[in-house]
Amino acid sequence: MTPLVEAHGLTKCYKQVRALDGLDLVADNGHVVALLGPNGAGKTTFVRSVATLLRPDDGSLHVAGVDALKQPQEVRRLIGLAGQYAAVEPTMTGRENLDMIARLFGLGARSARANTDVVLERMGLVEAADRRVKTYSGGMRRKLDLGASLVGAPKLLLLDEPTTGLDPRSRIELWETIRDLVSTGTDVLLTTQYLDEADQLAEQIVIIDHGRVIANGTPDELKTSAGQDVVEIHARDGHSLGALASALAQLGNSEPRVDEGTRRLAIAVDAGPERLTDAVRIVAGLGVEIDDVALRRPTLDEVFLALTGASPNGASDGETA
């Protein structure tokens, strides 16, 4: 079966910055693919290449088997794009916005109206349909924008940081909407800086850093590929964290991570159960009081750290996204 998106050696340079640096990626169809990476990793540049908004300098890019560099107009028939901003017109109603985009997707007046109704229903915007968008909340605008990318029944939805800037409740609502879409069979390629978002929505996660793919797999595979379990200890007293860290360092294959704020200490270990037992013994030997000790799978945050040597959030280094 033709992969949904297939990129080989994709390169794009802006003056000083290599936004894409020989990126290779095969995204299978039939599920949600999340591109995960910090600001400046090249996520947006990649999505804009797939959306035919920019032309890579080098490499090949196919969308559902169509060459995006040679036949961009064909690719545009396959995709729907919702960018980082809600690109809807505030002075028009939700219905008018959707109807306009439906007509531009090539639908006749009647089908455009019918699709608009379906999309309004699916986005939960029926009641607000005939209100001007300027009265909408941020979350409603994003939903409408998502709906606009959908109203022409594209094969592939491209969502560039769909929940950035939304409050937590709107984020969760938008996740629900995206999940519903997926259950109706629409393929989705989304970018995100949020690990939990990728974890929540995607069956395939592609981690990008400095314009290259550094890991690619299911959330579970990625967690396993970091190769480790994590022993986490919750100290009762913040002052004992230093002593704990130096005593437990021998267990892990890297320095323990200490979070003073939550009084937690995490050590990545191989052979989790044995190391957990060791950890308990060491803590008992130190005579330090703890609230909790646990063995768990690494979070995507920790996977990211293991793969890139840097934390994904706050890793903004001023590069173009």
Partner 1 sequence: MQTYSITAPSITAPHRTAGPTTTTIEVARRTVRKFVRSPQLAVVGTIQGAMFLLIFRYVFGGAIDTGGIPYVDFLVPGFVLTSVLFSGSSAASGVAEDLEAGFIDRLRSLPIPRTSVMAGRALADTITGTWGLAITTAIGFLVGFRLHASALDGLAAFGLCIVAAYAFSWVFIYIGLMAGTAQAAQGISLLVFPFTFVSSAFVPVSSMPGWMQPFAEHQPITVMVNAVRSLVLGSGAAQHLPHPTGYYVVGTLLWGAAISAVFGVLSVLRYRKG
Binding site for partner 1 (CB under 8 A): 48, 51-55, 73-74, 76-77, 79-81, 83-87, 89, 91-92, 96, 100-101, 103-107, 111, 114-115, 118-119, 122, 132, 148-155, 158, 181, 184-187
Closest distance of CB 123 from partner 1, Å: 12
Q: Which two tokens stand for residue 62?
A: 């196919």
Residue closer to partner 1, measured from CB, 142 or 223: 142
Distance CA 302, CA 235 (A): 20
- Cβ-contact 165, 138 below 8 angstroms: yes
Distance CA 191, CA 159 (A): 7
Residue closer to partner 1, measured from CB, 178 or 267: 178
Closest distance of CB 168 from partner 1, Å: 23
Residue closer to partner 1, measured from CB, 91 or 250: 91
- Cβ-contact 163, 134 below 8 angstroms: no
User: Residue 288's CB: how many other CB atoms inside 10 A?
Assistant: 18
Closest distance of CB 77 from partner 1, Å: 4
Residue closer to partner 1, measured from CB, 149 or 193: 149
3-state DSSP call for residue 137?
coil
Residue closer to partner 1, measured from CB, 126 or 284: 126
Closest distance of CB 217 from partner 1, Å: 24
Distance CA 192, CA 34 (A): 7
Closest distance of CB 243 from partner 1, Å: 53
Distance CA 77, CA 106 (A): 9
Residue closer to partner 1, measured from CB, 162 or 219: 162
Where are any strands of DSSP class E within the chain?
Answer: 5-14, 17-27, 32-36, 58-63, 66-67, 79-82, 156-160, 187-192, 204-209, 212-217, 229-235, 257-259, 264-269, 290-296
Closest distance of CB 152 from partner 1, Å: 6
Distance CA 160, CA 45 (A): 10
- Cβ-contact 265, 241 below 8 angstroms: yes
Segments in 134-202 forming alpha helices (H): 138-150, 168-183, 195-201
Closest distance of CB 209 from partner 1, Å: 25
User: Residue 97's CB: how many other CB atoms inside 10 A?
Assistant: 25
Closest distance of CB 6 from partner 1, Å: 17
Q: Which two tokens stand for residue 237?
A: 């007293």
Could you say which DSSP state residue 256 is in? P
Residue closer to partner 1, measured from CB, 181 or 207: 181
Residue closer to partner 1, measured from CB, 19 or 101: 101
